[in-house]
A and B are shown apart, each in its own frame.
Chain A
Amino acid sequence: MSSHGHRTIRMFNVLHISCLEDVHTSVSWAAERPLLSVHIFTPEIRNVAGRKYLSLWREITGSTLVTMSKRRSLTEAQCVSLAQKLLRERLCHQKLPDRPLALDSQYKHLLELLRRTAVHGESNSVLIVGPRGSGKTMLLGCVLRELMSLKEAQKNVLLVELNGLLQTDDKIALKEITRQLHLENVVGDKVFGSFAENLAFLLEALKKGDKSSSRPVVFVLDEFDLFAHHKNQTLLYNLLDVSQSAQTPVAVLGLTCRLDVLELLEKRVKSRFSHRQIHLFSSLSFAQYVDAVRSQLSLPPDFPDPKFSDAWNHSVTKLCEEKSVEEILRRHFNSSKDFRSLHSLLFLSVSRVSVSHSTLHEADLLEASRLISADSKAIILHGLSILELCLIIAMKHLNDTYDGEPFNFQMVHNEFKKFIQRKSHSIHKFEKPVVMKAFEHLLQLELVRPVDSGVCKVQREYQLMRLMLEHGQVMEALQRYPQCPTDVKQWALSAFA
């Protein structure tokens, strides 16, 4: 498990290195966010905890309720596996907590707002703004769960969920709204009609409703800022216009991480927005952070095997008090306060637990932290050949000499030749094509990148390049490189070649 996990992480890091941060964001976004509705609207809303654990238990052991109740205690392996399953669900499936942490006032505000829409038929619009991972979706999920447990709201509220990354223009968004509302131009799963017809149909439908008799509709617009980039902001205008006129009661909830989102709105759209913003800035102190870690790792009191869970919880409490663990957490806390990065740290450490190793140890966290904070490029450097490494060093010297000006292959080659001639003992001479090949490999890894001049006619040897590595990264990689020849190390350390 652990070695497999390690490889995955490594691959993941490689992906990271290629600096597709945006892609990464959306990919991980999709991976991390299972559909809200799954959590909220399954019948197990009230989370009859026992039943849930039972089904988990059944999954693991294949035995039935009766046999379990007869035996009472589980084997250690089963316990570990059950505990892992629970924790994993908590850490990566974004299971909603019972109560959002440290967001009480926001929770109350939003709940009250939605309750008024559901019960009184009052239209509202609100933006939930907070950095990534600050718990916007979680907050909304909790609020909706609470709202749906209200008797008055339960059967009355229609929910429409849109996401700026999925509904990339108004046409798609309209179809999706129509589909989720099950309006009458939906047959099966298909929405009929052109864009214009759909818009007219939806507006007509919303217009026909009135405050007291039609069911309120809650529109959730995730990645709200992306909707503002749609043509003319038609969708936003219309939704907000409905929210400001005596039509079907709607609540328009926008979720975004952009603080300047209001500036994106056109002035007539902006005027129709109620300017209600709920900001989620975590003002968490470190002590609270550690508490959160503890509660995230603890097993619930209704865990089938109380003995195991007691032992586990005890070990977790002890773990959190340890100095080195505190240091790791402090480092994470300094880097980012959001829970999502914390979850990935804890997830990695929980994955290391096994039957032979049935409680969390300091080493697990340490290893997880090392994996998470490892520099992705330094890891790639470890996989380079000596020749490639030498070229990197040559480039580093060129960078030092020419103060970051771009270089070309010929310059790198000259630098390398100088080193071979003057100082090298362990490295024999390479043919130029071989060096070129190594250079191209670096190019493929995007450790060097051509300066974007757009001129293709330049010979490959003379094409201008930049090194995509920091000074520190090169030095660190050299330190850790297995069996690095000392003369190469010395060459790297020498101020000027």
Chain B
Amino acid sequence: MSRYITRLRMRRTYKWNGRPVGEDRKLKRKYYESMSISVEGKTEDATVSSGQYILIEGDDDDNPFVAQLHKLYTDDSGKKKTAVVQWFVRMCEVPQNKRKLLGRDPHPQEIFFYQDRSCDNEVDGETILGAVQIEYVPAENSFPEGKSKDILFVKLLWDTKSFKALDPELMQPPQSPKSPPPSSRGPQTRALPTPDLSVMKRAMSGTLTRGSMSTGKMNSSEAESLHSASKLSAAKALSAKRRSRASSGPHVRKKLDLCSPTKNVSRDDVLGEILDEHTEKTLTSKLNTSPTGRISISIRLTPLNLNEEERVFPLSSHSPDKPKLTAHDKDDATRARTPSRRKDSAALREPALAALAEEEHEDSPIQTAATPRSKRKSAQLVSSRIRKQLNVLGNKVDRLSDGDDDDDCFIPTKTDLQSSSDEEEEAKIDSEDELIVKKRRGSRTPRSTEKTRVTARTPRKTPIKKTAPATPRTPRHATPSIPSRSAPARKPGNVLEEARARLHVSSVPESLPCREQEFQDIYNFVESKVIDGTGGCMYISGVPGTGKTATVHEVVRSLQQSAEQDEIPHFHFIEINGMKMTDPHQAYVQILQKLTDQKATPDHAAALLEKRFSAPAPKKETTVLLVDELDLLWTRKQNVMYNLFDWPTRRNARLVVLTIANTMDLPERIMINRVASRLGLTRMSFQPYTFKQLQQIITSRLNRVKAFEEDALQLVSRKVAALSGDARRCLDICRRATEICEHSGSQKNGSGLVGMSHVMEALDEMFSSSYIAAIRCASVQEQLFLRAVIAEFRRLGLEEATFQQVFVQHQALCRVEGLQPVSVSEGLAVCQRLGSCRLLLLEGSRLDLFLRIRLNVSQDDVLYALKAD
């Protein structure tokens, strides 16, 4: 069951408590002491104030991010609430490969103080879910027993490299609540989210902290998708960081010395750089501080402003609640000068965004209910029980509606498969209850009418749905696997076997020769996007077997390597293939599953992805999506393609889409304008390999295993280059040649190398037409029939004749040849035999005497084959 489904759709409202406690005129910010979050339908409001520990909405609804709230402020427009936080991470957010550094099993409620300079520590105030209780446990003490499940413990510090003992001093908020932040600004509209000046400034100040999201319970099945969620959200922060790295020393990668980030500046980079410089200038001038801008804003103090000011900001409302500051206009002007087109587009998309956001907030109150806001344990217990119940209900609704959306996914299995990743409590609910709940909810769902219609249309599925608990169920933890063999496979024994293993297309070569330029281009593209934290699309075309997918994989491999070494931010690579799905809309399902391990129906998955990529989520790592065989994602409305190319343009999506297809002009041929336009013009075409390249590929694969004569290699590569330039073909021929060599080698003792003759034989086998051999080996009557067909064609002057006409010729030919004439039945059988191997093209045999016959081979070929006999 998907977690996001479990939340009830409720709305949260955020408002400031009290008057601003401080103001920063330069930055146009107003600082507040606390904020109250009211949940629709609940009388009691939750209040979060500086210094408190809070939960922040993240990708995973059960395990929201944990942080300590440092500051709360709004900017000039008065709409936008921003929170400055200190992040904590849960174990599951720590990269998998680093977890063992802890050296012990983590406590289920354990979190870590997160120290990472590259992480953005400002989040949208409206993603705060509520307060949470965190206890500091000294490093030498053991975790206290018998405490509530909702209390989290912090013991150690995680600085992205290692776990360290945590100084309790760090846990104190950097300033007393009464000493307000230096400046304040009016509220800002939600329509214009992140890149606010503070982010940019922070990025330059170098006092960045990084964190990642947290979970309440350790849920290892999800850890993978969540780990090392980068918290950088503003492009500026990243590029600033990049610059600082570049100055600290060039990070050099294998064969990529030329493309250290400072040098490989793509168009986007340049733009980013200009932006950086620009904002830096404005900032420095505004702040009147040292030109480096490396000063922390938190030092500045402004008079307290304690007037109570209660404002409610409905999410969809656009009316800017402008405070009375004159400086606003000035700031607006500054912002207008920063050439960010993305902002405009974000504003344009606002209605859709708002709708989504609304949904998201309607979802959340359960979460809020779960947060230990009320400190009494009994209350918590009750609320958690309610939550469980609601979860079940919510799931049922969604499950039913899922079934409606797509009848490909029938429900019981899905539930079962999903339940494997569910919490234990979920599993305990017995199926009977489920059924009752399901029925009750089913009658209440607005879509129930639709559902009955659907089931009426496909009655076959109904019983499965209804009798779900009774039918034998799929094993809960069905893992896709092939049984393993009793003994490991034998290793290659001799040179030829070794060569064959190396030449197999499946063997991953150490490097990809002959695609250096393409590699470089793709690498630069992806790297720049990952570093900038922006998104983009790229279209790669080329005939089959030219190394498109292999190159992209190679790029991703090396990028992952450098991410491992912390040279670039971590990113998430997922891959889908148009051929590996049953329907274009399954693309959503697969992407969602690979991103978050959730299962959903295509429609639902589309909605979730839409939400994911458009929501201003506080911390996210870049996603690199490879879409192979793009042309198969074509639908009549092209909405799959549209979405795939539209998401990267969203401001917070941080999605890089690499698409692969065979034809160069695919965007022009099959895409409608709005899709093609979003795909953009970043294209790359893989040319078929030339013979030299093919030769190099084989040589590099063989890697000094001496199995081929030089001439033989050249022959293969020339032949293949002339035909298709398909590297797979080339490798297959070489492999076949080694086999032939091995067989003949046992008879006569040659050099032991694969020579010209072997290669020729292999080429012959693969490329020569089999028609002539087939005709030569046909029976006498079949040959006669072919001859009769040609004779009849000549007589008619057409390339088509009926069986009756040919049969007359056939009878005559039989007499000429001195054979006993065959009966019509036999003649027809002969004709069908030729038709079944497609020497002849026939109509359906129902037409009997009048079935029309055509030759599938040229007449000359037939005559040649018959004459040589």
Contacts and interface: CB of A to CB of B under 8 A. Distances in A.
Interface of A: 13, 16-17, 19-22, 25, 108, 112, 119-123, 129, 131-132, 152, 155-156, 158, 170-171, 181, 183-185, 187-188, 190, 192-197, 199-206, 208-209, 211-217, 232, 234, 237-238, 241, 243-249, 257-260, 267-268, 270-272, 274-277, 279, 281-283, 331, 333-337, 373-378, 446, 449, 466, 468-470, 472-473
B507 A281 contact: no
Interface in B466-510: 472-475, 478-492, 497, 500-501, 504-508
B824 A377 contact: yes
Contact of B845 (A19, A108, A187, A468): A19
Contacts of B221: none
B257 interface: no
B826 A335 contact: yes
A244 B484 contact: no
A194 B825 contact: no
Given A246-B507, A277-B770, A194 B481 contact: no
Contacts of A249: 489
B479 A184 contact: yes
A196 B408 contact: yes
A16 B484 CA distance: 50
A260 B508 contact: no
Given A197-B409, A209-B482, A473-B824, A334 B781 contact: yes
A345 to B, nearest CB: 13
Contacts of B479: 184
25 contacts: A13-B825, A17-B825, A119-B489, A131-B833, A131-B836, A170-B582, A183-B481, A193-B410, A200-B580, A201-B478, A259-B770, A259-B839, A268-B662, A271-B545, A271-B724, A276-B732, A276-B736, A335-B779, A335-B826, A336-B779, A374-B823, A375-B823, A375-B825, A377-B824, A472-B821
Contacts of B823: 373-375, 378, 473
A90 B858 CA distance: 40
B864 interface: no
Contacts of A211: 489, 506
B687 to A, nearest CB: 15
A131 B489 contact: no
Contacts of A277: 765-766, 770
A184 B732 contact: no
B792 to A, nearest CB: 14
A346 B807 CA distance: 28
Contact of B488 (A194, A213, A446): A213
Q: Which 6 A-B pairs have the closest CB atoms?
A: A271-B544, A281-B777, A375-B823, A21-B845, A121-B489, A205-B480
Interface of B: 408-410, 412-414, 417, 472-475, 478-492, 497, 500-501, 504-508, 543-545, 579-583, 586, 589-590, 629, 632, 662, 724, 726, 728-729, 732-733, 735-736, 739, 743, 765-766, 770-771, 773-774, 776-782, 804, 807, 811, 819-826, 828-830, 832-833, 836-839, 844-850, 856
Nearest to A207: B480
B490 A120 contact: yes
B586 A196 contact: yes
Nearest to B593: A200
B473 to A, nearest CB: 7
Given A196-B586, A260-B856, A335-B830, 9 more contacts: A156-B486, A193-B410, A193-B413, A204-B480, A209-B484, A234-B580, A272-B728, A277-B766, A336-B782
- Between A276, A335, A376, the greatest number of chain B beta carbons within 10 A of the residue's beta carbon is seen for A335
Contacts of A243: 506
A491 to B, nearest CB: 23
B832 A234 contact: no
Contacts of A204: 480
A288 to B, nearest CB: 13
B486 A268 contact: no
A260 B841 CA distance: 11
B506 A246 contact: yes
A13 B408 CA distance: 45
A156 B846 contact: no
A333 B779 contact: yes
A243 B621 CA distance: 34
Contacts of B825: 13, 16-17, 373-377
A336 B781 contact: yes
A237 B504 CA distance: 18
Contacts of A132: 833, 836-837
A223 to B, nearest CB: 11
A196 B581 contact: yes
Contacts of A200: 580-581, 590
Contacts of B826: 335, 373, 375
B295 to A, nearest CB: 53
Contact of B483 (A214, A468, A469): A214
B804 A470 contact: yes
Contacts of B586: 196
A280 to B, nearest CB: 9
B732 A274 contact: yes
B485 A197 contact: no
Contact of A184 (B481, B497, B504, B822): B481
Contacts of A192: 412-413, 473-474
A270 B544 contact: yes
Nearest to A261: B838
Contacts of A270: 544
B856 A155 contact: no
Contacts of A131: 774, 778, 833, 836-837
A213 B485 contact: yes
Given A156-B486, A260-B838, A275 B781 contact: no
B838 A212 contact: no
A193 B828 contact: no
Nearest to B732: A274
A279 B770 contact: yes
A17 to B, nearest CB: 8
A388 B263 CA distance: 95
Contact of B781 (A20, A108, A119, A335): A335
Contact of A156 (B485, B544, B807): B485
Contacts of A238: 579-580
Contacts of B478: 183-185, 201
Contacts of A470: 804, 807, 824, 849
Nearest to A379: B825
B850 A466 contact: yes
A187 B483 contact: no
A478 to B, nearest CB: 15
B716 to A, nearest CB: 13
B579 A268 contact: yes
Contact of A190 (B472, B484, B629, B833): B472
Given A271-B545, A334-B781, A194 B774 contact: no
Nearest to B543: A267
Interface centre among A20, A275, A378 (most CB of B within 10 A): A275
A229 to B, nearest CB: 14
A205 B590 contact: no
